[in-house]
Amino acid sequence: MEQEYAVKVENVAVRFNMASEKIDNLKEYFIKLIRRELMFKEFLALKDVSFEVKKGEAWGIIGTNGSGKSTLLKLICGILKPYKGSVTVNGSIAPLIELGAGFDGDLTASENIYLNGAVLGYDKKFMKEHFEEIVEFAELQDFLEMPLKNYSSGMAARLGFAIATVVRPDILICDEVLAVGDYAFQQKCEKKMNEMRERGTTLLYVSHSIESVKSVCDHALWVEKGVVRMKGMAEDVCEAYINTMEEA
């Protein structure tokens, strides 16, 4: 049944247009645009990708840099639209895709907690009730009145993760953001994700750490150059990926 699935991706392709010639300035670009002299190359970032995620499952998405992992997550979040195929999502999504997304660098951490909560669809009352929980998890008690532009990438990631996971979404989408944290915080985040899974949250998790994928996820999708190489149980897919990388 359709409602069994949190995410269903069917025969999806994502196409980008890349300029085939170098244009040095905006004036030259508009002249060529008006004269219809702009030439583009078609680049398929994803090609005929299909997979289904049942509610409550945790899927790790693995592959080398530039293989289409982040593009796939942005597609599922609705940031990108498919050139071909369809994406069906059942439930609310908390996307943790890019550091600083939904944050204002000139505002303090305290102000950004309410701002980011609003971006995720939660009112001030809800965020006020969970404010201390967010601060405690992010371990930023001494830096709440500091502008976020003065935060390190690791501190910003901690705050983003704490906000995204306090809202108890149906689907949590995580894209390599934990890589900037220290080992202790990474372990803390993995524990949090496992707790959310036990409460029924579906997880989509991109990471270059195969051990982390095996620890957190029960299924995995291996994407290479926009094509699905393998999908199935996390242990099997991760082992196949490691073996291929060692042979290369």
Domain boundaries, the chain: 2-247
Instruction: Calculate the CA dihedral of residues 184, 187, 192, 197 and round it to 10 degrees.
Output: 180
d(CA 175, CA 170): 17
Q: What is the pLDDT along the chain (248 residues), one digit of tens a residue?
A: 556 899 999 999 998 866 556 666 676 666 666 766 656 567 788 999 999 999 999 999 999 988 999 899 999 988 889 999 999 999 988 887 765 567 898 999 999 999 988 887 788 999 999 999 999 999 999 999 999 999 887 888 888 888 888 877 899 898 876 666 677 888 888 888 888 888 899 999 998 889 889 988 999 999 999 999 999 999 999 999 999 988 76
d(CA 128, CA 134): 10
User: Do 219 and 52 form a contact (C-beta atoms < 8 A)?
Assistant: no
Tell me what pLDDT residue 191 has: 86
Tell me what pLDDT residue 99 has: 54
What's this model's pTM, rounded to 2 decimal places?
0.80
Q: In what order do the strands lie in the sheet with 58-62?
A: 93-96, 171-175, 202-206, 58-62, 219-224, 227-233
2-247: CATH, from 3.40.30.10, 3.40.50.1010, 3.90.650.10, 3.40.50.300: 3.40.50.300
Tell me what pLDDT residue 21 has: 60
Tell me what pLDDT residue 94 has: 80
User: Do 114 and 142 form a contact (C-beta atoms < 8 A)?
Assistant: no
What are 54's two structure tokens? 């049942």
Amino acid at 229: R
